[in-house]
Structure 1
Amino acid sequence: MEGVPHSGPRPFGWQEDRITLHPHEAALVRQAISDRIGGKAARAIARDWCELGVSGTRGGRPNAQTVTQIITAPRVCGYRANRGVLMPVPGTTEPVSGQWVPIVTPEQWQAVRATFSLGGPYPRGGSGAPRSTAEKAKPRTIGSGLLRCGAERSDGTECRGAMSRQKGRSKRSPYVYTCRSCRRCSISGPLADEALERLLFSAAPVHASLPESVRRRWRDGDMGVEEKRRTIRSVLTCCVVRPGVKGNPSWDHARVRPEWRSAARAEASAVDREPFRHGVGGSP
């Protein structure tokens, strides 16, 4: 209630006394808040910090989550909070002010917090703050979580890491899917989604073909992203993405290799029957 700085790791933006501003870090936080209010993505801010060689107070590389926690923490405008909740002055609704030097004004802090939606992918309000809602952010594209990395590991096996949606750098590819594990495989988001749709309607085997009513609703635009994802999952376990060839701008649909759900069931059934073929396990 006295606004005394907490113990623990040094907060990013302040010196070891947790009261005096760290000139370089405070300037980064101030600029990041201004950029975010102007529409810049937290991931892009984190990438800028990495390129500048910035590291966290415990030596880690900045990412979108840590940037979000830093710039939305009440501490940046001088307010005292407990797990993201402002501490009011007894008998009033005014927040307790800390003894440290603030980086931005309360108005700027409120403005940057407003740029992060409730239930977004990252908690806002500081490192100890819980999510604003238990509801998770819903995927915005049909390929999120359905694509797997096909890059080859050093032992010759496939990576198989999940590929997630990230912001792209061109009008043709406003978003891309990138492997979260090895980071060695990336593919244009719109082209990958087009390949998924092509597989469903042009390359699906007979046992995995969709009913005509489903096809019609998809092509007429009556399906949302969530329903499309459920439709894909009903016939596909996943799709493995082969890395592209550096310097080759041509698009190859064969980079996206489907793994049909019915084929997986048939393979599992064959494995279950294998002991009986060799006279093991008694009579079928």
Structure 2
Amino acid sequence: MPHSGPRPFGWQEDRITLHPVEAPLVEKAIVDRVGGKTVRAIAHEWCDLGVTGTRGGRPNAATVTQIMTAPRVCGYRANRGELLLAPETGLPALGRWEAIVPPHRWQAVCATFSAGSLYMHRGSGAPRLNGQRAAPRYLASGFLRCGARRRDGTVCNGPLCGQKARSRRSPYVYTCRDCGRCSISGPLADEVLERLVFSEAPGQVRLPESVHDRWRAGELQLEEKRKIITSVVTRCVVRPGVKGNPSWDYSRVEPVWR
């Protein structure tokens, strides 16, 4: 039988019937995590949707992880990190509540977290075990290369990685993790990448205007946009900006066409 205490996220007050809004969110989160999305990204999505926990708090990576990996989501029950087993069969005991996902999906999402007790030792920073890389969070991730010159005169060519920034004008930036001498505003870099792909691409890789219309209409997901970019450019070299110059120079981003 369901235990007492706060209502578990994903179920209604009877703790047996699935919640019509929360349960689909949990199911999608499990699918997304197994597919490579980070827990932090899932938590941000929930916050953007206005989702709150059963106690009124905003979801974060830790709480989303606990919700996804709780044995309850597939009908199982655990106590102190160990599954409760039916004595007559030795198999996991099934609760009377409705399951959100089948056991194999719950096992798959648990396998994306670190070793140890799957129900006690877990967290958003835990290493992944299924061999899949986390899905990119930013449009230009993987496409930008550092164009800064090293002391020996060679070009750095390190990848520019997206990260959050404490700025209203630029909530995230792309920064070189190799030399640290090249950084570019995230939204502006994404804007110039879109401009290159649809307005400046040479004839052999130019895309139809209908694709651009879908892009601007918001009909394309991040993964679809990145596939479009991949079909046009192999990478873009970003030259370091000039300190004290607030103007945006589109020529800083030099594409390498397919």
Aligned to 2:240: 251
Confirm whether residue 80 of structure 1 aligns to residue 111 of structure 2.
no
1:100 shift after superposition? 0.8
Structure 2 residue matching 1:94: 3-state secondary structure: coil
Aligned to 2:13: 16
Amino acid at match of 1:6: H
Structure 1 residue matching 2:115: 3-state secondary structure: coil
Amino acid at match of 1:35: D
Amino acid at match of 2:13: E
1:82 shift after superposition? 1.3
Structure 1 residue matching 2:162: 3-state secondary structure: strand
Amino acid at match of 1:193: D
TM-score normalised by the chain length of structure 1: 0.49
Aligned to 1:169: 139
Return the alpha-carbon distance in structure 1 between the equivalents of residues 160 and 79 of structure 2.
39
Aligned to 1:130: 121
Aligned to 2:174: 188
Deviations 1:79-128 (A, max 9, x none): 01113321112254211111211111111111221222337xxx853xxx
**Residues 149-168 of structure 1 aligned to structure 2 (within 5 Å):** 167-168=137-138
1:76 shift after superposition? 0.3
Amino acid at match of 1:41: T
Deviations 1:58-83 (A, max 9, x none): 12222222222111110000001113
| Seq. identity, % | 51
Aligned to 1:94: 91
Match of 2:66 among 65, 69, 93: 69
1:168 shift after superposition? 3.7
**Residues 184-263 of structure 1 aligned to structure 2 (within 5 Å):** 186-189=172-175, 191-195=176-180, 251-252=240-241
Return the alpha-carbon distance in structure 2 between the equivalents of residues 5 and 60 of structure 1.
23
1:26 shift after superposition? 0.7
Aligned residues: 170
Return the alpha-carbon distance in structure 1 between the equivalents of residues 187 and 17 of structure 2.
48
Q: CA RMSD in A?
A: 3.7
Q: Which runs of 5+ in 1 are unaligned?
A: 138-165, 199-240, 256-284
TM-score normalised by the chain length of structure 2: 0.53
Return the alpha-carbon distance in structure 2 between the equivalents of residues 253 and 10 of structure 1.
55
Structure 2 residue matching 1:194: 3-state secondary structure: coil
CA contact (8 A) 1:69 1:124 kept: no
Change (3 A) 1:116 1:131: closer
Change (3 A) 1:19 1:53: same
CA contact (8 A) 2:172 2:187 kept: no
CA contact (8 A) 1:83 1:130 kept: no
Larger proportion of helix:
1
Aligned to 2:164: 178
Deviations 1:176-215 (A, max 9, x none): 3436xx67675424x143227x9xxxxxxxxxxxxxxxxx
Structure 1 residue matching 2:179: 3-state secondary structure: helix
Amino acid at match of 1:251: P
Change (3 A) 1:183 1:13: farther
Match of 1:30 among 24, 27, 30: 27
Return the alpha-carbon distance in structure 2 between the equivalents of residues 98 and 10 of structure 1.
15
CA contact (8 A) 1:68 1:124 kept: no
Q: Which runs of 5+ in 2 are unaligned?
A: 128-135, 145-158, 193-238, 245-258
Deviations 1:229-250 (A, max 9, x none): xxxxxxxxxxxx9x96985986
